[in-house]
Amino acid sequence: MKRQLPKVHDLAPLMKFKKPELDRKKHRLASALTIEDLRRIAKRRTPKAAFDYTDGSAEAELSIERARQAFRDIEFHPAILRDVSKVTTGRQVLGAPVSLPFGIAPTGFTRMMQTEGEIAGAHAAAKAGIPFSLSTMGTASIEDVKAANPHGRNWFQLYMWKDRDRSMQLVSRAAAAGYDALLVTVDVPVAGARLRDKRNGMTIPPALTLRTVLDAAPRPQWWIDFLTTEPLAFASLDRWSGTVAELLDSMFDPTVTFEDLAWIKSQWPGKLVVKGIQRVEDARAVTDLGADGIVLSNHGGRQLDRAPVPFHLLPEVVKEVGADTEVLLDTGIMSGADIVAAVALGARFTLVGRAYLYGLMAGGEAGVNRAIEILAEQVERTMRLLGVTALDELTPQHVTQLVRLVPRPRPAGRPST
């Protein structure tokens, strides 16, 4: 083989040195190409108790693993030779437009994960044109979130407390602030057994113990932010100095019934969505009660371990109630491809919780922007590769749910209600 020394004019086109990025946060976030990448960054930067509260679920954590596996166990069926030069990722959801087929799910204790908390999420949602959901257990007030997202869509998530008057005061505040949907969560009669939190001795707010001080050593920025900003407290309720499970069990009402749900609906002027549906029969019951939407969800695996996988339930529930109400879905979503698969099988919209929090822990508001950007890019790319240009073109013909766990036949008869 004949060889020769390269000439300068041959080398010049190959020399494309990038200007170094001196902003460490920008460099860190730009290097994240997936939500899992953000998760790894978040784990490095967040104390163990706070990270595990976000990352963990109940008991053996089978529910969340099964939910994520269900999305991995899909097969796409792309159509070829379609013009996909222009793709639209928006649609109407609960009576108003969204720019993407996902929104930010309600999450509690958010400033514990990263001090910018819900305000960062609300700003990012406003920028992306997607809804932001504020939890009853949020660490920013209803009014402050509205101020952070004044022209966008804000949803309020309600846990019914034993003190009904205080619960409905929150509902009234959300209505007065212009929130357009109320997400009534119905799968927390009592707290799930979140064993990571118990093993970490996790309290709200985090306590300074020998363990937490040692854990802080490699993560000084988190503790600097935590100790030099406003003390962690719940904007919608009194301060608390115990474990999460103790808080939930002391406050939440295990006697709530369908009659109570009807009463809540009568008090709310906007769209009412019931979050935590895990059976077809319950989807039909709340739809008949007049719910504008339902969220198929097992609370991110944080309540009943071995609960049904929402993504598995989706086709059957859509068949039962999809013509009568909007079906939303959460739990296990870690990519834009997961979102596209859910939409193809009939979900009107999806909610992301952990994916948003991984971004928040990785880089505050900039990290949330990056999480949304990653998911949006994946949604659009997956649609193009499937040969569709709009969400309404996605159908069950684009997705097959591959079988891994096959249930034994159940005894005849309908489950009790």
Residue 413 pLDDT: 62
Supply the angle between the helices 62-72 and 336-344 in degrees, to the nearest 10.
80
Q: 23 pLDDT band (50/70/90 cuts)?
A: confident
Average pLDDT over residues 340-365: 97
Confidence of residue 416 (pLDDT cuts 50, 70, 90): low
pLDDT grade, residue 165 (50/70/90)?
Answer: confident
Q: What is the CATH number of the domain that holds 87?
A: 3.20.20.70
Token digits of residue 377: 């890019």
Predicted pLDDT of residue 253:
78
- Across-strand partners of 273? 183, 293
Q: If pLDDT is split at 50, 70 and 90, which confidence band does 342 have?
A: very high
pLDDT band per the 50, 70, 90 thresholds, residue 51: very high
Provide the domain limits for residue 178: 26-399
pLDDT at 104: 98
- 319 domain-assigned: yes
Domain total of the chain: 1
- Report the distance separating Cα 61 and Cα 14, nearest Å: 49
pLDDT bucket at 3, cuts 50 / 70 / 90: confident
pLDDT at 237: 59
- CA dist., res. 201 & res. 178, Å (int): 38
Q: Which of 182-196, 229-243, 389-403 has the lowest mean pLDDT?
A: 229-243
d(CA 283, CA 319): 11
Q: Which of 19-23, 220-224, 374-378, 402-406 has the lowest mean pLDDT?
A: 19-23
Confidence of residue 191 (pLDDT cuts 50, 70, 90): confident
Cα 45 from Cα 216, distance rounded (Å): 10
Of the given ranges (122-131, 190-199, 202-211), which has the lowest mean pLDDT? 202-211
Residues classed as catalytic: 299
Give the pLDDT score at 238. 55
What is the percent of the chain where pLDDT is above 90?
68
Mean pLDDT of 9-35: 81
Rounded to an integer, the average pLDDT of 369-386 is: 98
For residue 1, tell me if it sits in a domain. Answer: no
Q: Is residue 408 in some structural domain?
A: no
What single-letter amino acid sits at 220? P
In a domain, 10, yes or no: no
Q: Is residue 182 part of a domain?
A: yes
Per-residue confidence (pLDDT) for residue 59, from 0 to 100: 94
As a whole number of angstroms, the distance between CA 189 and CA 138 comes to 19
pLDDT at 218: 81
171 C-beta neighbours (distance < 10 Å), count: 21
Helix (H) or strand (E) holding 212: helix 210-216
Q: Is 211 left (phi over 0), alpha (psi -120 to 50) or beta?
A: alpha
Mean pLDDT for the chain overall? 90
Question: Could you tell me if residue 14 is inside a domain?
Answer: no
pLDDT at 162: 78
- Please tell me the distance from the alpha carbon of residue 253 to that of residue 284, in angstroms, as a whole number: 23
The set of residues, in sequence order, having a beta carbon less than 8 Å from that of 132 and lying 6+ positions away, is 103, 104, 118, 121, 122, 125, 126, 145, 149, 152, 153, 154, 155
Mean pLDDT of 11-40: 85
pLDDT tens digit sequence for 59-86: 999 999 999 999 999 999 999 999 999 9
Q: How confident is the model at residue 24 (pLDDT cuts 50, 70, 90)?
A: confident
Structure token digits, residue 112: 């514990």
Which of the four pLDDT bands, split at 50, 70 and 90, describes residue 12?
confident
CA dist 199 → 301, 318, 325 (Å)? 18, 39, 41
> Residues 257-283: pLDDT tens digits?
899 899 999 999 999 999 999 999 999
